[in-house]
Structure formats: structure tokens, C-alpha cells
Amino acid sequence: MPPVRGRLTHGAPLAPLVWFKTGGAAEWLFEPADADDLASFLYALDPGVPVMALGLGSNMIVRDGGVPGVVIRLGKAFAKVTADGLALTCGGGASGILVSSTARDAGIAGVEFLRSIPGTVGGFVRMNGGAYGREVRDILVEAEVVLRSGEQRTLALGDLGYSYRHSDLPEGAVVVSATFRGEPGEPAAIQAEMDRIAAAREASQPLRSKTGGSTFANPDGDKAWRLIDAAGCRGLTRGGAQVSEKHCNFLLNLGDATSADIEGLGEDVRAAVKAASGVDLRWEIQRVGIVA
């Protein structure tokens, strides 16, 4: 491995770092000191070594055989958010809660929906994260990324090729910061909207469980949860994994599930929905690593 100023760990367990609390270890886990540290590391790293970014681990299944190559985790150095006028400059490791709270304090409206997405800015930008009628492409100005080659580049909104829960960001690229733009608002009204979103999530989603968030993308003109429910999958189990009875587009680790249980249950759901409605559900949760 190339020399680094941050922290580089061999055989680092990933289960504690993801919401499902399952899965194997990273061959290498790299927590860079800053963007230059990341860029120089990737520049010197053998191009054949796979690289993957890890945020809060909320929208991910790490398979039981672990993840080969290097997993990059952006720590506190990438978790800062600053406001300037109606613009927010956000580190790739900043949470949606921090972004929306900073915007509220600065009187910036329009980014409240980020309060509801369990993840970090890097993941939001890569996946065009969204909720409650808004998505990242509605607020993004530009993103700073480090490509797999080590090149640092600024990408404008139009460069990202956004569609529903998808971008054209190259594989291995890491989003180290993003600039969002909102609109003028009153902090009290912004807080009220954030409270409304938080209450709606609490009422409808199994937030206090070991879950990975929304499992499947909504098909055009329909809702994944409705198709799953109609196929009779609410409460379905495999090993220690279960389809949530509260919101059936969420999979749960009941306590002793393996990643194979969770992914296998997802495939059971996809097969049932296909048989019942003819719809091929597309995974929204990222599945990474080696099947044990």
C-alpha cells in the first residue's frame, strides 16, 4: 500500500460500520486525512486494486466474504458544512442532518428533505438521493471528486447524468465535497418542515431496527412497498432477516441475520413481485463484496 497521512487498516471489520450490522471485513480500510491525502494515495495505488467509498453504511449490504481492495471512509475532516448566502459547501462525509440544520440556522430553505435521508453527502451525490418530493439534482451546484486515478476534478450538475436514484459518476470516484443551493427561508418555518419530515419517517419506517433503509427503487408510476405488500411479502422471513411489517420496502436484521440471509430475502421478494405483477424490482441498496 502507498504511504498515507491518514489511517490505513488491514482486515478491518465492516459490520460495525453499516446499519445492518452484518458482513465481512475490508481487505484494507483507508480513512484519509484530507482530499490531497486521498488523491495521492489513489494515484500511487495499483490500478488493478478495487476501491469503494463507504459513508454511514445505511444503504448497503456488505456480503459475508468481505470486500477486496480498499474501502475508503471519509471521517471528521470531511464532515464540515458552511453557509455563504444561499450556498452550502458540504464535506463528503457530512450527514443529511448536519446539512439541513446548518441550512436552517442560515435561513436557507429547500434542503429540509436531506434531514430524512440516512447517509452522507458523498452517497447523496452519487445516488441522487431524495425524499418527500425532492432530490439532490434539485439543489446541487457542483461536486468535488477524486477519481480512481487520483485526479481531483470539479463536476457541475450537468456532468453527473442524473436520473432517478442514479448518476454517471465513474466507478471508484469519491465525492469529497459538494455545493448545494437553496432559497431564502425563515429558520422557524424550516425547522417546522424538518419536524414534519422527522415525524412522518418515525410513523412509517422502522427507524429503530437494524435495517438498510429503502431496499428497492420505485418503478415508474408505482411504489415498491405496494407491490411487495400485494405479493404477500409483508413479514416474510429468511434466517434472521425479515421484511418489515411496518414498511415492507425495508428489510430487517432481527438480531442474528447474515448478509446472505438479507440479500437472499431480497431476492425472494423480487421473485414474488415478479410472479404477482410482472414487475422487476431494482435494488436501491448497494450490495458489495464477496459471497461467503
Cell of 147: 477519481
The three-class DSSP label of residue 125 is helix
**Which is catalytic among the residues 214, 259, 263, 270?**
214
From the list 245, 238, 232, the residue with the least C-alpha distance to 265 is 238
DSSP code, position 222 = S
The residue length of the chain stands at 292
**181 catalytic, yes or no?**
no
Point out the catalytic residue in the list 112, 193, 263, 284.
284
284 an active-site residue? yes
**Residue 26 bridge partners (DSSP):** 12, 67
Is 214 catalytic? The answer is yes
The DSSP 8-state label assigned to residue 43 in this structure reads H
Q: Whole-angstrom Cα distance, residue 122 to residue 177?
A: 7
Q: Kindly name the residue from 165, 167, 259, 270 that is annotated as catalytic.
A: 165
**Matching residue, cell 464540515:** 80
60-62 vs 286-288, strand pairing mode: parallel
Q: Look up residue 231 and give its DSSP letter.
A: T
The residues annotated with a catalytic role in the active site are 165, 214, 284
